[in-house]
Chain A
């Protein structure tokens, strides 16, 4: 009874009973006083401040957590949530985003002046979601430039892997762009048969999200331009500015990425830095296995067709070929994606 009495949780009748008893029983009165005192001593214990470094350590853990969490399936939502910016969503999807832009569209021809390009007129973006060709969408906002770049491409063997393009981005003509995601007709057979996939292990889509507090947006943007250029990088998502916040994403060859991030961090106060590594090995392995199966199927059909002319088998063969081309295309994108890091930069 004493405990609820202490809390004032007894009704009037019960309360009176307790009070009456306490008044007449010294033993219970003593007990009540001790109880009351003990509880108030506990209630009066002070608030304690955490030890030094508590918050810093916590925030470090939280930063690491963002990295770890992005490894799992919800990485996409998580990253999109972090920035709340749609451009970042585009950059993050870049696990398999095959998008190349001539670097010269970023800088003037003398290579010194950084010019943020207008995405409305110069952007040629293609996004492919792996394994689902229907979801792929191609955004071609450059109406003034018909498919000239695409026509030039098929001549290149293994035309998709844009590694070679990364080595010489500065030489690319202004506005010229190439797309590696669309399978090119006529090229399929050759590339499919010659194609040797890499090992799946260790394939990563690397991205880093950097938020920098800088003195002047345009000065910082120019510096971003030179750092990108010096590290043989290219523009991934054009610069945009809204309410005093600038965003831009660049693509840097994997080997130079750490150096580039370090240099970028010198441009201002680092507000946040969130590396995001997405493991591509599982998808790569799946694609490799599909390719092996499809190749076997293809050989089987071809040997059957050598003996007889069968329209049904012919139809199956072309379906297998188309499927094979898609898988090879996907695997090439995955391999290409692992060769560079996308750095998304927010300047405030």
Chain B
């Protein structure tokens, strides 16, 4: 951890509001991105990223620097989102953002409609990938975000999810395959011929 960050963490621990706000500024993109990838829509992502930062604020006095600060806060973020997803599984909610595999227009795409063609294609692909991610089961989505976006090791994932290494490996393998199936299908749909036909 760079010295400046270390100082900010120390000051925040003591309740320095400004220092904490500075830390938020430094990490909000990453935290928000994790929340968005896991939750699949901006409204939930904003809520849960805020919840995560509140948790971080409350837990700061317990942060000892055993892990890096960024690792620590990303773990908290994943856990906050997991808890929420678990809650919803018990009591399913219906969101307008949840759409079927075809023809969805996520916020991300809608807001960037005016960008140049290449940019549009890129974001369209990105939106498609997010959409495929959204359509996976929570377990698969969580493990993929941890591994591919947060770049956690098998061991870290095993520890956070409370799984054995074997289970992590097999679940990751199945999750990747499920994502591959969805993306491959979408790629066919997005192929130029198909798009013209639309």
Nearest residue (CB) in B for A69 is: B58
- Answer whether residue A48 sits at the interface, using C-beta atoms and an 8 A cutoff: yes
Please determine whether B29 and A38 come into contact, CB atoms closer than 8 angstroms: no
Interface string of B38-49 (1 = CB under 8 A from A): 000010011001
- Answer whether residue B117 sits at the interface, using C-beta atoms and an 8 A cutoff: no
Report A-chain residues with C-beta under 8 Å of the C-beta of B154. Answer: 7, 9
Binds B, one of A11-19, A49-57, A183-191: A49-57
Please determine whether A61 and B50 come into contact, CB atoms closer than 8 angstroms: yes
Q: Which of A231-262 contact B (CB under 8 A)?
A: none
Chain B interfacial residues counted at CB < 8 A: 44
Please determine whether A48 and B15 come into contact, CB atoms closer than 8 angstroms: no
Report B-chain residues with C-beta under 8 Å of the C-beta of A197. Answer: none
- Answer whether residue A81 sits at the interface, using C-beta atoms and an 8 A cutoff: yes
A37 to B148, CA, bound (A): 12
Please determine whether A43 and B149 come into contact, CB atoms closer than 8 angstroms: yes
Please determine whether A50 and B179 come into contact, CB atoms closer than 8 angstroms: no
A48 to B37, CA, bound (A): 10
Given contacts A4-B173, A42-B133, whether A49 and B148 have CB atoms under 8 Å apart is no
Nearest residue (CB) in B for A51 is: B46
Please determine whether B125 and A41 come into contact, CB atoms closer than 8 angstroms: yes
Please determine whether B50 and A58 come into contact, CB atoms closer than 8 angstroms: yes
Given contacts A45-B129, A50-B49, A54-B49, whether A271 and B18 have CB atoms under 8 Å apart is yes
Chain A interfacial residues counted at CB < 8 A: 38
Report B-chain residues with C-beta under 8 Å of the C-beta of A31. Answer: 180
- Answer whether residue B17 sits at the interface, using C-beta atoms and an 8 A cutoff: yes
- Answer whether residue B172 sits at the interface, using C-beta atoms and an 8 A cutoff: yes
A49 to B24, CA, bound (A): 12
Nearest residue (CB) in B for A36 is: B180
A4 to B173, CA, bound (A): 8
Report B-chain residues with C-beta under 8 Å of the C-beta of A35. Answer: 176-177, 180
Please determine whether B148 and A54 come into contact, CB atoms closer than 8 angstroms: no
Please determine whether A46 and B126 come into contact, CB atoms closer than 8 angstroms: yes
Specify which of A2, A45, A63 is in contact with B149 (CB 8 Å cutoff). A45
Report B-chain residues with C-beta under 8 Å of the C-beta of A62. Answer: 17, 20, 53-54, 57
Report A-chain residues with C-beta under 8 Å of the C-beta of B58. Answer: 65
Please determine whether B173 and A2 come into contact, CB atoms closer than 8 angstroms: yes
Please determine whether A48 and B129 come into contact, CB atoms closer than 8 angstroms: no
Please determine whether A42 and B15 come into contact, CB atoms closer than 8 angstroms: no
Please determine whether A59 and B179 come into contact, CB atoms closer than 8 angstroms: no
Nearest residue (CB) in B for A32 is: B180
Specify which of A41, A59, A83 is in contact with B183 (CB 8 Å cutoff). A41
Count chain B CB atoms within 10 A of each CB in A6, A31, A34, A41 and give the residue with the most. Answer: A41
Specify which of B32, B37, B61, B126 is in contact with A81 (CB 8 Å cutoff). B61
Given contacts A47-B33, A49-B29, whether A41 and B129 have CB atoms under 8 Å apart is yes
Nearest residue (CB) in A for B144 is: A42
Please determine whether A38 and B179 come into contact, CB atoms closer than 8 angstroms: yes
Specify which of B17, B28, B54, B126 is in contact with A45 (CB 8 Å cutoff). B126
Nearest residue (CB) in A for B182 is: A38
- Answer whether residue B75 sits at the interface, using C-beta atoms and an 8 A cutoff: no
Interface string of A70-94 (1 = CB under 8 A from B): 0000000010011110000000000
- Answer whether residue B99 sits at the interface, using C-beta atoms and an 8 A cutoff: no
Count chain B CB atoms within 10 A of each CB in A9, A54, A81 and give the residue with the most. Answer: A54
Count chain B CB atoms within 10 A of each CB in A6, A58, A272 and give the residue with the most. Answer: A58
Given contacts A9-B154, A83-B15, whether A51 and B42 have CB atoms under 8 Å apart is yes
Please determine whether A50 and B29 come into contact, CB atoms closer than 8 angstroms: yes
Given contacts A48-B36, A58-B54, A62-B57, whether A42 and B179 have CB atoms under 8 Å apart is yes
Given contacts A41-B183, A271-B18, whether A3 and B29 have CB atoms under 8 Å apart is no
Given contacts A35-B176, A81-B14, whether A48 and B33 have CB atoms under 8 Å apart is yes
- Answer whether residue B82 sits at the interface, using C-beta atoms and an 8 A cutoff: no
Count chain B CB atoms within 10 A of each CB in A48, A59, A82 and give the residue with the most. Answer: A48
A residues apposed to B, CB below 8 Å: 2-4, 6-7, 9, 31, 34-35, 37-39, 41-43, 45-51, 54-55, 57-59, 61-63, 65, 78, 81-84, 271-272
Give 5 A-B pairs besides A46-B126, A82-B14 with Cβ atoms closer than 8 angstroms. Answer: A7-B154, A41-B129, A51-B46, A61-B54, A62-B57
A-B contact pairs, 26 of them (CB 8 A): A2-B173, A3-B173, A4-B169, A34-B180, A38-B176, A38-B179, A42-B149, A42-B179, A45-B37, A47-B29, A48-B29, A49-B28, A51-B42, A54-B46, A54-B50, A55-B21, A55-B28, A58-B24, A58-B54, A61-B54, A62-B20, A62-B57, A63-B17, A81-B61, A271-B18, A272-B17
